[in-house]
């Protein structure tokens, strides 16, 4: 079996393939790693057939939809998953053929209602149902501690103790555990009584994950995270560094128009010398009168360098083919001691 583990932050995703046929499956892809997955699949000579999310993630952004499109692969989730972009929904016990390999879905509700684990040969991908030395939390939407207890004690822990366990999260860099080792070492699994387990899960008092609402919005619709929107805009425009802009100003180069797209107050409080002002909210409305010459070289700037990227991308899409964005914003410009008027 071809096996790749991708760790980013506390998230783990897996690329698994059949050695004989080179068919593959990608499990729990995360949005910041889309290029890595494609690179790994190419390096290993894998044709990825299925993209599987083990559940609706609430703490990171799923790349399932994007990878499904990029790799021409079917997006697979549990029958109860709300995401509309899922191509194939699995019931408990359903199996996927990946070349010569058989991958079976085990419905394990608890962390979420749509959680499932994936069993292939001697490997078990446990999503957030069973973690190394822990379990998934049950206090997020559709979580249910009683269901988690049943999924663990009546399903997962009854499987072959020699099965290798691969969770969707690991925060301490550990890997290489088995069902048998978790039964012995995992402190959460010491509470054998169902009611006591439910009470323990209820008393964890975990803080909400960052980006909770945005992650749910993105993962339940297949639409974009703000960071993705910005990254896509950034891929369509060139940038100019703060230093380079300072040199241009010093030379008195009048080819470049600095366009400040912040609100009026921010602009009036201090801007790049000679900058013109057109707030982002009025850009499309006033751009024709402001820039009758489409060959003008416009450099957009804002406070943090993000809205200016969107503005430059908008200008490029409107036909201002020399629009560029400042790599950084007015905050960095001021803090860097560059001239302000
Ligand atoms: Fe999760």
pLDDT tens for residues 205-256?
999 888 999 999 999 999 999 999 999 999 999 999 999 999 999 998 678 9
Q: Helix or strand or coil: residue 183?
A: helix
Ligand 1 centroid–CA 112 distance in Å is: 7
Q: For residues 113-124, give the mean pLDDT.
A: 98
Ligand 1 centroid–CA 145 distance in Å is: 14
Ligand 1 centroid–CA 11 distance in Å is: 9
What is the pLDDT confidence band of residue 176, given thresholds at 50, 70 and 90?
Answer: confident
Ligand 1 centroid–CA 230 distance in Å is: 25
Beta bridge partners of 16: 3, 25
Ligand 1 centroid–CA 140 distance in Å is: 9
**88 HSE (CA, 13 A, CB side):** 15
The structure tokens listed for 55 are: 């559940």
Query: For position 319, what pLDDT does the model report?
Result: 97
Give dist(CA 302, CA 279) in Å, integer: 9
Query: For position 85, what pLDDT does the model report?
Result: 96
Nearest 5°: phi and psi at 21? -105, -15
Q: DSSP string spanning 72-94?
A: T-EEEEETT---TT-SEEEPTT-
Ligand 1 centroid–CA 137 distance in Å is: 8
Ligand 1 centroid–CA 173 distance in Å is: 17
Query: For position 116, what pLDDT does the model report?
Result: 98
Give dist(CA 311, CA 288) in Å, integer: 14
Give the number of other Cβ atoms within 10 Å of residue 21's Cβ. Answer: 15
pTM of the model: 0.88
Query: For position 199, what pLDDT does the model report?
Result: 97
Give the number of other Cβ atoms within 10 Å of residue 141's Cβ. Answer: 12
Ligand 1 centroid–CA 37 distance in Å is: 20
Classify 2-223 by CATH class. alpha beta
Tens of pLDDT, residue by residue over 243-258, are 999 999 999 867 899 9
DSSP-derived secondary structure letter, 207: P
What would be the CATH architecture of the domain defined by 228-335?
3-Layer(aba) Sandwich (3.40)
What is the pLDDT confidence band of residue 107, given thresholds at 50, 70 and 90?
Answer: very high
Ligand 1 centroid–CA 57 distance in Å is: 5
What is the pLDDT confidence band of residue 7, given thresholds at 50, 70 and 90?
Answer: very high
Q: For residues 131-151, give the mean pLDDT.
A: 97
Q: For residues 90-103, give the mean pLDDT.
A: 97
Across all residues in the chain, what is the average pLDDT? 96
Q: Where are the domains of the chain?
A: 2-223, 228-335
């Amino acid at each position: 079996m071809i096996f790749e583990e991708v760790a980013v932050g506390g998230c783990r995703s897996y690329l698994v393939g059949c050695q004989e046929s080179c068919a593959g499956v990608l499990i729990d892809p995360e949005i910041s790693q889309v290029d890595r997955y494609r690179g790994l699949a190419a390096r290993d000579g894998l044709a990825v057939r299925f993209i599987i999310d083990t559940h609706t993630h609430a703490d990171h952004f799923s790349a399932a939809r994007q990878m499904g499109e990029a790799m021409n692969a079917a997006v697979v989730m549990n029958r109860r998953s709300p995401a509309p972009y899922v191509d194939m929904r699995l019931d408990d016990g359903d199996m996927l053929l990946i070349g010569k390999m058989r991958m079976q879905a085990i419905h394990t509700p608890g962390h979420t209602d749509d959680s499932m684990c994936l069993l292939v040969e001697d490997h078990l991908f446990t999503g957030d149902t069973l973690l190394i030395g822990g379990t998934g939390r049950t206090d997020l939407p559709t979580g249910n501690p009683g269901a988690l207890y049943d999924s663990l004690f009546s399903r997962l822990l009854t499987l072959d103790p020699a099965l290798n366990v691969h969770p969707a999260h690991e925060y301490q860099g550990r890997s290489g555990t088995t069902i048998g080792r978790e039964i012995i070492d995992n402190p959460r699994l010491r509470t054998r009584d169902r009611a006591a387990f439910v009470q323990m899960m209820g008393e964890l008092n975990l803080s909400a994950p960052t980006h909770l609402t945005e992650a749910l919005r993105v993962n339940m619709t297949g639409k974009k995270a703000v960071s993705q929107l910005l990254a896509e805009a950034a891929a369509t425009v060139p940038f100019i560094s703060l230093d380079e802009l300072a040199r241009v100003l010093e030379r008195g180069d009048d080819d470049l128009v600095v366009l400040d797209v912040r609100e009026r107050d921010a602009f009036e409080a201090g801007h790049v010398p000679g900058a013109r002002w057109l707030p982002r909210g009025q850009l499309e409305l006033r751009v024709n009168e402001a820039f009758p010459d489409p060959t003008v070289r416009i450099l957009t700037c804002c406070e943090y360098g993000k809205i200016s990227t969107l503005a430059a991308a908008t200008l490029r899409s409107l036909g201002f083919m020399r629009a560029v964005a400042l790599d950084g914003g007015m905050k960095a410009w001021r803090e860097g001691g560059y001239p302000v008027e």
